Structure 1
Amino acid sequence: MTASLAIAHDEFKRTVSVPAPSPTRHEHWDTGVVSNSEPLLGPGLVVVCVVMAGAAGLVSKFVLRGSLWPVPGAAVRAAVQLAAVATVLAAAMSRLWSSMLVLAVMFVVATVTAARRSEANHGSPWLTVSLAAGMTSVIPLLLLTRVVPLTGVALVPVFGIVLGGTMSAAGVAARRALDALGQRSGEVEAALSLGLSERDSRMEVIERPLSDALLPNLDQARTAGLVTLPGAFVGVLLATGSAAQAGAVQVLVLISLLLAQACGVAVTGELVARGHIARRASAAPVSRGWSHRIARLIPVVGR
């Protein structure tokens, strides 16, 4: 997505007014590898990636006492997937209809991934509603105000970043809420005995786990620029050399994520509290659920 945001820079320039960078101040960008992607695609890149993946695997094997191959395997899989996705996006983002098709595929994959992460064995398809709630709270607003132009090169990166964050938050919120209900079932029974409804009884238990699902993005927003440089910022900065433009895009992305995740987690909490998403002992094991069967057909879905 960092590369896609770099490509989308020209579209954002029309809607975000910032001072143009000084030629003398940023002229060093013209000779560095960051201004031209071609020097990066050489033997050096392959060697560095192989060494780092191998080192990570060795640490996992001999220090963490785990397996040697999961990390290198994940690295190879990521390289293959990103190469394929980059090829598809280069063609798809040139037309609006093909961009919409890409967004639909992304949404399906995100739904399956969130369902797997929730570890629910009943009602996990309801997480589609959570993701839809998060996306519809943000994307229409960005399009109607023309902050994000209705073009594939601008819409796909922003949609992908917001969808990815909402997917993670909704999946974690559902899993932690269901864990809390399983561990604190006695509190739910006590609340029911006091006359609370089933929905309110469950909500008393899952409120804290739901709010905890928002903490990673809240921490990222609080420390942006101080501890970490988020991907959108880095992508636009490397593409343009303009820190102001990169900051404007990153602020847009961070605030969009905050709203989308808050709405997605809120809907997830309601679905869990009302029993639409649950873990039931009589149901089939999670590993045999619908999301796992679909995931086998979609190799880009990860745990």
Structure 2
Amino acid sequence: MRSSSLISVTPLLPVALLALVVLGALVARLGGLGHGRAVVTACLRAALQLGAVSAVIATVVALPPAVAGFVLLMYGVATFTAGRRIARNRGWWWAGVPIAIGTGPVLALLLACGVISTQGIVIIPVAGILLGGCLTATTLAGRRAVDELVQRRGEVEAALALGFRPRDAALEICRPAAAQALVPALDQTRTVGLVTLPGAFVGMLLGGASPIEAGIVQLVVLVALLAAEAVATVVTIELAVRGHLDGGSPG
């Protein structure tokens, strides 16, 4: 059977995967987390989607229009996923704003400086990493901002009574909590090499790159990701306090 130095593809691989899915679902159910079925469906979707994506990428990487279309598809899915988490009304598409503003300039800078290649096989995974990071940051920041503005509406109104403008009053209440959306990216960057070896680093090593080359690639990915997520978080908070997301500014 074909294998790599990290994962061996053996006849027992499906058995191991099935056992892990069952374990995750049982723990979630018996532990009262309420996500037993979601664990199963998420794993099934991951298997189907990765299979389909692998086939599609193999086809589109050599065609620039197809690469652009695939990146736009990823962006659309990220927007919809974040939007339904933070805006339960028709304004879900606002989630696409922080994701685009966070991902677009960072990706453009990397391309303009020649840091990454213009080949589709490079652009697609880098764009996917940035979009995924901005999706997470937007979702976390949006949900925290919305929850704070709803639960602490009385404090917002008190700030308004003291003479604060609606935007400033809302910012005072929701920004500290929403800013926690950056904590995962900060922790990942701070502890890289000490706690974990992220995917880009491991992938480069498995591909035959030297540890130095792998380290440089991983550094670029982490710094770019942190910058993109910082932008996405700030924009998401701004949208929340302006009332574009559920629970926005009372003004």
- Fold-level similarity (TM above 0.5): yes
User: Who is 1:72 aligned against?
Assistant: 40
User: 1:6 maps to which residue?
Assistant: none
In the alignment, is the contact (CA less than 8 A) between 1:187 and 1:205 conserved in 2?
Answer: yes
Match of 2:68 in 1: 100
Which of 230, 235, 240 aligns to 1:262? It is 230
Report the Cα distance in structure 2 between the residues aligned to 1:234 and 1:129, rounded to whole angstroms: 32
How far 1:190 moved relative to its partner?
Answer: 1.0
Q: 1-side partners of 2:215 and 2:141: how far apart?
A: 29
Structure 2 distance, partners of 1:117, 1:88, is 28
Q: How many residues align?
A: 247
Q: Identify the structure with the greater helix proportion.
A: 2
Q: Which consecutive residues of structure 1, in runs of 5 or more, have no partner in the other structure? A: 1-31, 281-303
Q: Scaled by the length of structure 1, what TM-score is found?
A: 0.76
**Whole-angstrom distance in 2 between the partners of 1:34 and 1:177:** 44
Q: Contact 1:92–1:99 (CA<8 Å) still a contact in 2?
A: yes
> Residues 205-224 of structure 1 correspond to what in structure 2 (within 5 A)?
205-224=173-192
The amino acid across from 1:162 in the alignment is L
| Other-structure match for 1:173 | 141
Deviations 1:86-127 (A, max 9, x none): 111111112211111100100000000110121443633222
Counting only pairs closer than 5 Å after superposition, residues 148-297 of structure 1 correspond to structure 2 as: 148-240=116-208, 242-279=210-247
Unmatched tracts of structure 2, length 5 or more: none
Give the CA deviation at 1:41. 3.7
Equivalent of residue 44 in structure 1, options 2, 7, 12: 12
Amino acid paired to 1:112: F
Structure exhibiting the larger radius of gyration computed from Cα positions? 1
How far apart in 2 are the matches of 1:231 and 1:237? 10
Cα distance in 2 for residues equivalent to 1:77 and 1:126: 26
Q: Which residue of 2 aligns with 1:34?
A: 4
In structure 2, distance between residues paired with 1:252 and 1:266: 22
Asked whether the equivalents of residues 134 and 228 of structure 2 are also in contact (C-alpha less than 8 Å), the reply is: yes
Identify the range of structure 1 (119-128 vs 238-247) with the bigger mean alpha-carbon deviation: 119-128
Is 1:88 the counterpart of 2:56? The answer is yes
Q: Deviations over 1:235-275 (max 9, x none)?
A: 11211152222111111110011110111111111111111
Instruction: Mark the CA change 1:235 to 1:276 in structure 2 (over 3 Å): closer, same or farther.
Output: same
Mapped to 2, the partners of 1:80 and 1:44 lie a distance apart of 19
CA shift for structure 1 position 33: 3.7
Q: Which residue of 2 aligns with 1:27?
A: none
TM (norm. structure 2) is 0.90
- Shift in Å at residue 68 of structure 1? 5.2
Distance 1:198 1:65 in 2: 37
**1:73, distance to aligned residue in structure 2 (A):** 3.2
Q: Conserved in 1, the CA contact under 8 Å of 2:147 and 2:247?
A: no
From the superposition, tell whether residues 242 and 47 of structure 1 become closer, same or farther in structure 2 (CA, over 3 Å): farther
